[in-house]
């Protein structure tokens, strides 16, 4: 590659504060990665309220046709139903078939949450309740709402393979399937069964034989995650459980503002901090930029630029370990800009 074309979609709230930070970190890497080209792209709820569109066709087109990868900030999806609005991040994951949401959660130095944490949540990113097929009908006793929860063998198998691939690259080499098959024996049953069968697939050819396969029911998995996070390595989960588990795991390392992710598919990768648009701190200049910066590093590594990604991560880890320039979510007094400056200096 002569150049790396990156779509930037800050979207709403603190997304607009942390995506510029990630951009600066990428620019600071220099010679370990190709020349960078950025596209500034629109999406989000605020855009919807102004223009009636949350995800313009032009944004999708530029991502599809003129970008090698992307960075997404966060969207402010209202908790009430708004006619004509649908979350652009959920739509983008589907449009670009970014079937895996990979969320590494790792503590640095002395973990503020207590025990050291080093795990990866591998979240299925295209189905489960996020197919958003909801209906509501009147009944004699009040309205009745229903949702479809879709689990397919195809999506479960590919997310399972992704989890095993990630486990292979890690020291512990362990995959834990997170499910609720004791109650949802059909849907979660299919998810569990399909992933259990992955190591024996003919095309896998025994390459996962050294990966230890475990499973855990989702509620007790959260309980054990808080008490003994060290028992987990790679946790693979259907969409909703994966979403909840990764926010929970973020609490163990001190802040949502530290946890990165990538949305990955066969042909595209999009970095995205795990946190949302944080309306409570929006515009105050104190959003923690480290999750977004780490998402950029994760994206680089996924594209094969190991050295570039490692340089960003090393800088972030140093800043956390020194503990002198931190945003308030980590108990510090520094601003977003000051943290970005500290990271850029280390890169
Ligand atoms: P949130 O993740 O935005 O915030 C939760 C808490 O963590 C807040 O107290 C916030 O201040 C804090 N926090 C989050 N990121 C931080 C950071 N970088 N630095 C410092 N503190 C940080 O979740 P929420 O408040 O439940 O949701 C707000 C909005 O974000 C909602 O509209 C929701 O739909 C949306 N959301 C979007 C995404 C996404 O875009 N992928 C994910 C989650 C929530
Ligand atoms: Mn979430």
Note whether ipTM > 0.95 here.
yes
Check if 14 has its Cβ closer than 6 Å to any atom of ligand 1. yes
Q: Do strands 100-106 and 69-74 pair parallel, antiparallel, or not at all (unpaired)?
A: unpaired
Percent helix, strand, coil in the chain, to 5, is: 45, 20, 35
- Which residue's C-alpha comes closest to atom 34 of ligand 1? 77
Positive or negative torsion for Cα 265, 103, 243, 274: negative
User: Which ligand has an atom closest to residue 273 CA?
Assistant: 1
Q: What is the pLDDT of residue 31?
A: 87
Residue nearest to atom 40 of ligand 1 (CA): 74
Closest by Cα among 159, 157, 175 to 167 = 175
Exposed (0-12), middle (13-18) or buried (19+): which is 337, by Cβ within 10 Å?
middle
Question: Helix H segments across 146-265?
Answer: 153-168, 187-197, 218-227, 239-252
Q: Closest by alpha carbon to 234, among 150, 144, 336, 162?
A: 162
Q: How far is the CA of 275 from the centre of ligand 1 (A)?
A: 5
Q: Classify domain 118-252 at the CATH class level.
A: alpha beta
Q: Are 101 and 236 in contact (CB under 8 A)?
A: no
Q: In this predicted structure, what is the pLDDT of residue 167?
A: 98
Q: 268-287: per-residue pLDDT in tens?
A: 999 999 999 999 999 999 99
Per-residue pLDDT for the chain (347 aa), expressed as one digit of tens each? 789 999 999 999 999 999 999 999 999 998 889 999 999 999 999 999 999 999 999 999 999 999 999 999 999 999 999 999 999 999 999 899 999 999 999 999 887 768 899 999 999 999 999 999 999 999 999 999 999 999 999 999 999 999 999 999 999 999 999 999 999 999 999 999 999 999 999 999 999 999 999 999 999 999 999 999 999 999 999 999 999 999 999 999 989 999 999 999 999 999 999 999 999 999 999 999 999 999 999 999 999 999 999 999 999 999 999 999 999 999 999 999 999 999 999 99
Closest ligand 1 atom to 288 CA: 19
Range(s) of the chain covered by CATH 3.40.718.10:
1-101+260-347, 118-252
**Per CATH, domain 1-101+260-347 is 3.40.50.2300:** no
3-class DSSP state of 70 = strand
Give distance in angstroms: CA of 289 to centre of ligand 1.
13
Nearest to 76 by CA among 281, 287, 276, 282: 276
Residue-wise burial string across 30-44, b where 16 or more C-beta atoms lie within 10 A, e elsewhere: eeebeeeeeeebbbb
| pLDDT tens track for 140-194 | 999 999 999 999 999 999 999 999 999 999 999 999 999 999 999 999 999 999 9
pTM reported for the whole predicted model: 0.96
């Amino acid at each position: 590659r002569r150049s790396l074309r990156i779509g930037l979609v800050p979207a709403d709230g603190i997304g607009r504060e942390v995506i510029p930070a990630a951009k600066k970190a990428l620019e600071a890497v220099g010679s370990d990665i190709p020349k960078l080209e950025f596209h500034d792209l629109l999406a989000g709820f605020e855009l919807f309220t102004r223009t009636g569109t949350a995800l313009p066709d032009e944004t999708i087109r530029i991502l599809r046709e003129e970008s090698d990868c992307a960075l997404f900030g966060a969207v402010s999806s209202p908790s009430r139903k708004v006619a004509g609005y649908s979350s652009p991040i959920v739509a983008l994951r589907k449009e670009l078939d970014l079937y895996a949401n990979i969320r590494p959660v790792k503590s640095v130095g002395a973990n503020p949450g207590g025990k050291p944490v080093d795990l990866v949540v591998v979240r299925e990113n295209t189905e489960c309740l996020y197919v958003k097929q909801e209906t509501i009908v009147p009944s004699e006793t009040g309205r009745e709402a229903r949702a479809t929860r879709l689990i397919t063998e195809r999506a479960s198998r590919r997310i399972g393979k992704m989890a095993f691939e990630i486990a292979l690259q890690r020291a512990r080499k362990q995959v834990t399937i997170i499910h609720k098959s004791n109650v949802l024996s059909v849907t979660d049953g299919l998810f569990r069964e399909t992933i259990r069968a992955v190591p024996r697939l003919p095309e896998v050819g025994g390459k996962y034989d050294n990966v230890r396969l475990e499973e855990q029911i989702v509620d007790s998995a959260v309980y054990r995650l808080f008490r003994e996070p060290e028992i987990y390595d790679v946790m693979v989960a259907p969409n909703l459980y994966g979403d909840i588990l990764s926010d929970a795991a973020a609490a163990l390392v001190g802040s949502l503002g530290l946890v990165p992710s990538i949305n990955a598919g066969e042909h595209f990768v999009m970095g995205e901090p795990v946190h949302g648009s944080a309306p409570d701190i929006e515009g105050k200049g104190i959003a923690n930029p480290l999750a977004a910066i780490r998402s950029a590093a994760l994206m680089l590594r996924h594209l094969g630029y190991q050295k570039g990604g490692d340089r960003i991560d090393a800088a972030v880890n140093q800043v956390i370990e020194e503990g002198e320039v931190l945003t308030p979510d980590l108990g510090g007094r520094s601003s977003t800009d000051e943290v970005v400056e500290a990271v850029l200096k280390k890169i």
